[in-house]
Amino acid sequence: MPSYALLGQSALSGVFIGALYGLLGLGLTLSWGMLRQINLAHFALVFLGAYLTYQLGAAGMDPLVTLALIAPAFFLFGAALHLLLARFKVNALNTLLVTFGFMVMLESLIQWIWSADFRRLESHYGDVKWKVGELFVPLPELLTLALACGLALAVWAALRFTDLGKAMRATAEDAPIAAAFGVNEKLLSLLLSGLCAAFAAVAGMCLALSHTLAPSQIYAWIGVVFAVVMIGGLGNPLGPLVAGVVIGVSEGLTMAVTAPVWAPLVSFSLLIAALLLRPEKF
């Protein structure tokens, strides 16, 4: 029987990787659920953000400070992307295709600038960790978790309690009706799309803090993050985080008690069972 420290550490590691899934999925779920845009380019944008963090970090800038530059720039990109998609009235399936095109272009851009070889951000964050009881808590992961929770909760609260958020939800439910009640649907969508891209910048910063980067890695995250977004319920800002943590922890615990190769089997079998037995919960 594995020790409690081992189980605890494995579960904690699952929480951290789940938080990263959640952060990656946040922008995706909002644009998918509320704008009906399945944005593959989000993954490439996350990596572009990570590479920019790496570049600015290598020039001596603090990774957190880089966000002040990257996030606004990405906001503009997201808004511009939305303008394009709205101008051509691209439907949900086609947004998948158009954004695939953008993903490939961004991937090429990254490889052109930073080559296909691995890049790794050196930062003092990586050296900081705390010991809580028998468990170790490293700073970059904690930062990721805090940002993931903070952003998800902030978006959730904003959608629920502010007028702007309520207007956004109304627009997502039924744009023409919302427009009839005086909601400026176009401006809201633009704002939301920009925000989603800014979230990609945050996720990219966290990715740069904890992972080694290569352009082809963009594709490695799609499957599991899509799963997390869909499990969490489209448009639900808390969904990807919760689903990511559930998957991360179930995989972490599986790896702690049995052969690590079985981890995906356990988490995704659980998911299939849940889908079949309680479909109305999703």
Partner 1 sequence: MRFIWRAAALAAMTALLWSAHAQQPVRIGSTLALTGPLGSAGNIQKVAIEVYIDDLNSRGGLLGRKVEWVLKDDQSRPDLARTLYEQLATVDKVDLLMGPYGTASILSAMGVAQRYGKILIHNSFGTPRLAKYDMQFSASGGAGDPENVWPNLVFDAVATAPKPPKTVAIVTTKFPSAHSIALGAREVAKKRGLTEVLFLEYEFGNRDFGAIAARVKDAKPDFVFAGALGLDGVLLLDAMKKIDYQPPMHFYTFPAPGPMLKLPEAKNALALTTFEEHPPHTGNPQATQFIQGFRERAAKASLPSTSVDLLSTIAYASWQVLEAAVSGARSLDDKALAQWLRQSQVDTVMGRLSWQGTPEGPPNFVMGKDIYKVKQLQDGKWLVVWPKEFAAPGAKLIGP
Partner 2 sequence: MRFVAAAIVLGAVPFLGLPAFYESFLYLVFHWVVLATSWNILSGYSGYFSFGHAAFFGIGVYTTAVLAGKLDWPFLWTLPFAAAVPALVGVALGAIIFRVRALRGELFALLTLAVTFVVSTLVLNTPVDGGPGVMLSAVSIPKLAPTVSGTFYLLSLVLALATVAIAYAVYHSRFGTGLFAIHDDEAVAEVMGVPTYRFKLAAFALSCALAGVAGGIYGVFVSYVTVGETFSGFVALYVILMAALGGTRHWLGPALGAAALTTLLYVFTTSDYAVAGRAAMGLIFILVILFLPQGLLGRFAHRKALPRRNAPIPSAAPSTKNMESILVVRDLSKAFKGVQALSHVELEVRRGEILGLVGPNGSGKSTLINLVSGHYPVDGGSIRFEGRELVGEAPHRIARAGIARTYQIPRPFPHLTVLENVALPPMFGQVVMDRAAAEAEAWRWLEFTGLAGKALLQPQHLNLHQRKFLELARALASRPKLLFLDEVLSGLTPSEMNEAIRLIRAIRDQGATIVFVEHVMRAVMELTDRVVVLTYGKNIAAGAPGDVMRDPQVITAYLGAAHA
List interacting residues with partner 2 (CB under 8 A): 84, 88-91, 93-94, 96-98, 100-105, 107-109, 111-112, 219, 222-223, 226-227, 230-231, 234, 259, 261-262, 264-265, 268-269, 271-272, 275-276, 279-280, 282
Q: Which of the 8 DSSP states describes residue 258?
A: S
Q: Which is nearer to partner 1, 184 or 212 (CB)?
A: 212
Q: Which is nearer to partner 2, 67 or 231 (CB)?
A: 231
* 3-state SS, residue 59: coil
Q: How far is the CB of 256 from partner 1 (least distance, A)?
A: 4
Q: How far is the CB of 252 from partner 2 (least distance, A)?
A: 16
Q: How far is the CB of 232 from partner 2 (least distance, A)?
A: 10
Q: Which is nearer to partner 1, 78 or 252 (CB)?
A: 252
110-to-2, 46, 113, 169 alpha-carbon distances in Å? 43, 11, 5, 35
In which region does residue 119 sit, left (phi positive, over 0), alpha (psi from -120 to 50) or beta (all else)? beta
Q: Which is nearer to partner 1, 122 or 173 (CB)?
A: 122
Token match 């998800």: residue?
A: 152
Paired with 129 in beta bridges are 138
Which candidate, 45, 25, 27, places its Cα nearest to that of 35?
27
Token match 């808590």: residue?
A: 137
If one counts every other C-beta atom within 10 angstroms of the C-beta of residue 193, the result is: 27
Q: Which is nearer to partner 2, 5 or 265 (CB)?
A: 265
Q: Which does 16 bind (CB under 5 to 8 A by kind): partner 2, partner 1, none?
A: partner 1
Q: How far is the CB of 138 from partner 1 (least distance, A)?
A: 4
- Count helices and strands (H / E) in the chain: 11, 2
Q: Which does 216 bind (CB under 5 to 8 A by kind): partner 2, partner 1, none?
A: partner 1
